[in-house]
Amino acid sequence: MIKLSKEELLIASKISQLKEAAGSHSPSIFTIVEQLPMLNIKVDACFLSNPYATDLFLEYLKKELVDTSKLRDVLEFYPSQNEVIAEIIGKSININKENIIVGNGAIELIQAVMHRFVGDKVIVNIPTFSSYYEFAKDRTEVVFHQLEKKNNYELNVEEYIKFVKNHKPDSVVIINPNNPNGGYLPYEELRYILNNLKEVKNIIVDESFIHFAFEDSDLSLISATELFKEFSNVIVIKSMSKDFGIAGIRCGYAVMDRHKVSELLKNGYLWNSSGLSEYFFRLYKRADFFNEYEIVRKRYIKEAQIFFEELTKIPQIKVYPGMANFALIELIDGSTSADFISKMLIKYGVYARTGSDKIGLNGEFIRIASRTEKENKIIIDSMKDMFQNE
């Protein structure tokens, strides 16, 4: 069992205060560094992103903005309006611009959808990303659909359809792959659900981690966006923070019925992109960038799979199977997740995320991101060393 020294306990209490202040999310790495300067953070394994994609984006940014001094234009001038950027995204994902709204991160669109379209009742699978219930309005009843631990927190399709039909909500949320367990619903199963839930007004499909999922050996890209063409009650929400490693730029979009897009644009969301997010979306539609992205996406998936494999070899934890870029692990040696987080951060400089605040997770859970090959090795070695010294 993990045990903390007196000194570690002191820092640990500060960490848990910061966690408290950040609500149901982790405190940012900046806050941690600022408030706990004694820590030497080597790996941010809280942060769910492909670092190779960040490298790629920064290469383009340096070449095209920094070195040419076009960076000034991007920071100084007003970016284009929502509809202009929607058109650019539409070219990337093969969807009409009328069906797209751009967000200042996916979170802005989660907020928009929860406030404007979700009505009296929404079903949210738990454990999951908390904003889907925290952003619900007072008059919206949130019905939790518990994913079962014995089923590795994966969705049981038939049981889910029954549950929804029974509760008759106006909206449901499906995060695919799900966060924090990475549970993945294959395309045809999602299609089967949509076929059976045509009466639900809004089927919100959050695909923020979809670039890390795969169904063939080529690791080809998958997306529910195509299903939107078949089922107009689908609202696809997509963050670009994870797959492209650019959370600081705040890029996201949603695909939905054009009447819904019009309703939102009618009195808001006019200038919600930054100059850099416009630059990113213009890059995203370019073949040169996208082809290079595909290489680093596949490299990252392969390394993540190896990382998960290595984790399963550690006897003190159980690794839940998933298709995102993180592993949900459960401590089965009697340690608490708080002690795991503190020890890893203080002794090894590895910042991981506790699952203790996730409604619907029953046990001592940690969510740990796959980072670069080198960082993954640090994480694995640190964990092994920590458990050896128990």
Q: Which listed residue (10, 58, 295, 332) binds its own copies by CB under 8 A?
A: 58
- Phi, psi (deg, nearest 5) at residue 353: -110, 130
> What DSSP state is assigned to residue 66?
I
Stretch that binds its own copies, among 66-74, 215-223, 354-362, 364-372 (CB under 8 A): 66-74
Token pair for 367 = 């969510």
Token pair for 87 = 């058109």
Asked if 276 interacts with its own copies (CB under 8 A), we say yes
d(CA 80, CA 220): 32
Asked if 137 interacts with its own copies (CB under 8 A), we say yes
Q: Which listed residue (63, 221, 271, 362) binds its own copies by CB under 8 A?
A: 271
Asked if 117 interacts with its own copies (CB under 8 A), we say no
Q: Which listed residue (64, 108, 357, 373) binds its own copies by CB under 8 A?
A: 108
Give me the least distance between CB of 271 and its own copies, in Å please: 5
Measured from the CB atom, the residue of 111 and 232 that comes closer to its own copies is: 111
Measured from the CB atom, the residue of 183 and 245 that comes closer to its own copies is: 245
Asked if 248 interacts with its own copies (CB under 8 A), we say yes
Asked if 246 interacts with its own copies (CB under 8 A), we say yes
Stretch that binds its own copies, among 29-37, 93-101, 289-297, 329-337 (CB under 8 A): 29-37
Asked if 76 interacts with its own copies (CB under 8 A), we say yes
Q: How far is CA 148 from the centre of its chain?
A: 21
d(CA 40, CA 50): 22
Q: Which listed residue (90, 177, 182, 245) binds its own copies by CB under 8 A?
A: 245
**46 and 352 in contact (C-beta within 8 Å)?**
yes
Q: Which amino acid is at 198?
A: K
DSSP string across 306-369 = HHHHHHHT-TTEEEEP-SSSEEEEEE-SS--HHHHHHHHHHHH-EE-EESTT-TT--S-EEEEE
| Interactions with its own copies, residue window 278-297 (CB under 8 A) | 278
Asked if 252 interacts with its own copies (CB under 8 A), we say no
Give me the least distance between CB of 5 and its own copies, in Å please: 29
Token pair for 151 = 């089923």
Q: Which listed residue (1, 7, 13, 115) binds its own copies by CB under 8 A?
A: 115
- Phi, psi (deg, nearest 5) at residue 242: -80, -55
SS3 content of the chain, % helix, strand, coil (to 5): 45, 15, 40
Q: Which amino acid is at 206?
A: D
Residue that has been written with the tokens 């000034």 in this structure: 72
Q: Which listed residue (12, 89, 93, 136) binds its own copies by CB under 8 A?
A: 136
Q: Is the dihedral of CA 97, 186, 173, 158 positive or negative?
A: positive
Q: Which listed residue (99, 104, 225, 335) binds its own copies by CB under 8 A?
A: 104
Instruction: Give 70's contacts (C-beta < 8 A, 6+ positions apart).
Output: 64
Asked if 249 interacts with its own copies (CB under 8 A), we say yes
Asked if 61 interacts with its own copies (CB under 8 A), we say yes
d(CA 71, CA 279): 10
Within 10 Å of residue 220's Cβ, how many Cβ atoms? 10
Give me the least distance between CB of 378 and its own copies, in Å please: 18
User: Given strand 365-369, what is the order of strands in its sheet?
Assistant: 317-320, 326-331, 365-369, 353-354
Q: Which listed residue (16, 54, 232, 372) binds its own copies by CB under 8 A?
A: 54
3-class secondary structure, 180: coil
Asked if 114 interacts with its own copies (CB under 8 A), we say yes
Stretch that binds its own copies, among 127-135, 169-177, 187-195, 320-328 (CB under 8 A): 127-135
Asked if 250 interacts with its own copies (CB under 8 A), we say yes
Asked if 63 interacts with its own copies (CB under 8 A), we say no
Asked if 134 interacts with its own copies (CB under 8 A), we say yes
Measured from the CB atom, the residue of 3 and 62 that comes closer to its own copies is: 62
Instruction: Give 111's contacts (C-beta < 8 A, 6+ positions apart).
Output: 131, 135
Give me the least distance between CB of 70 and its own copies, in Å please: 11
Q: Which amino acid is at 140?
A: T
Chain positions contacting its own copies, by CB under 8 A = 22-23, 25, 28-31, 44, 47, 49, 51, 54, 57-58, 61, 66, 71-81, 84, 104-105, 107-108, 111, 114-115, 131, 134-137, 241, 245-250, 267-278
